[in-house]
Amino acid sequence: MLDPFLRQRVDPELRPLVDSAADRPPLSATSIIAARAAVAGASSAFDPGPSHIETEDLLVPTPMGAVPARLYRPADPMGLLLWFHGGSWAVGGLDPSDRTMRHLAEESGFDVVHVDYRLAPEHRFPAAADDACAAIRWAIQDAGAVGIETSTVAVGGDSAGGNLAAVAALYARNENLPLDLQVLVYPAVDATLSASSLDEFAEGFLISSADVRWSWSHYGLGELAAPDDWRISPISADPTGVAPALIISAELDPTVGDSIAYAEHLRAAGVPVEYTCYPGTVHTFFNLRGVSTAARKAHEQIGDAVRMAAARS
């Protein structure tokens, strides 16, 4: 359990979760099979999300083969939000994120397509990045042909998925594909692992610095990719001309330094950025809408941002 002084910094709605996590082995000491089962089990404990949101399972074509995805459709969609889930590039999928996607579709009024990109260790770097780039091309160029609303296209993701969303946004800029917004929720974007937050929040806040470093190395950093490769480390790229960004971070998170640095990196290149750090929150709070007021506010903020992007386009 956290030191009592540090525990007081945690949002009271999230303290029971943080306390219970102290008795479980960290991700970096857990097998992939066990970690995936834990994520699936945890997701079943929460509300299923808005049942009126229609869903359809899809296959997104890529040069590497079709990637599963799921469409979440509200009434009268105003655009498309392409989403990549978190999970250290190794866990998570369509079903564990189902309720979050339903809420995003309801809050935004956008079609939401959740992409089930290939996971490590079965598929290490650059598999997930390649899937993300192929998916954003499909979303902008071809999704309209299957009835998805593409008058406005945004891309988003949380944690490792935030990394993939940032990579997809850079790819869209490189390929002159018109992208209206990128939504990055506590994104892992700096493969140098030099953020001071890795030391400041190293232990006791759901994920540890050891978990963060394990995630990067498990994906392929240092073995299959260097920290200056933008496909794994988006902050290494010149972001000039990339889509405007909404960046959401958790205050008590080893990766919060990445969010702060990337917001500054984009602004320095003239990219419009809205940055919000939710006080007292920890990594993964975004997917805890059923217990977290901050999560609900973050969902509402994303809904507002994508609707504003639709109004601009």
Tell me, what DSSP letter sits at residue 66?
-
- Residue 270, Cα to own-chain centre: how many angstroms? 23
Tell me, what DSSP letter sits at residue 286?
G
Cβ neighbourhood burial of 41 (10 Å; 0-12, 13-18, 19+): exposed
> Of these residues, 123, 218, 265, 283, which one is catalytic?
283
- Whether 209 is a known active-site residue: answer no
- Whether 253 is a known active-site residue: answer yes
End-to-end CA distance of the chain: 48
> Of these residues, 111, 158, 253, 258, which one is catalytic?
253
- Whether 283 is a known active-site residue: answer yes
CB 81, CB 112: distance < 8 Å: yes
> Of these residues, 159, 208, 233, 236, which one is catalytic?
159
**What is the helix (H) or strand (E) element at residue 67, kind and residue range?**
strand 67-73
CB 309, CB 180: distance < 8 Å: yes
CA distance 53 to 16: 30
Residue with tokens 């974007």: 189
What angle, 0 to 180 degrees and rounded to 10, lies between the N-to-C axes of helices 98-108 and 293-312? Answer: 50
C-beta atoms surrounding 141 within 10 Å: 14
Tell me, what DSSP letter sits at residue 11?
-
- Phi-psi map region of 87: left, alpha, beta (phi>0 left; psi -120 to 50 alpha): left
CA distance 296 to 298: 5
C-beta atoms surrounding 248 within 10 Å: 28
Give catalytic residues, as residue numbers.
159, 253, 283
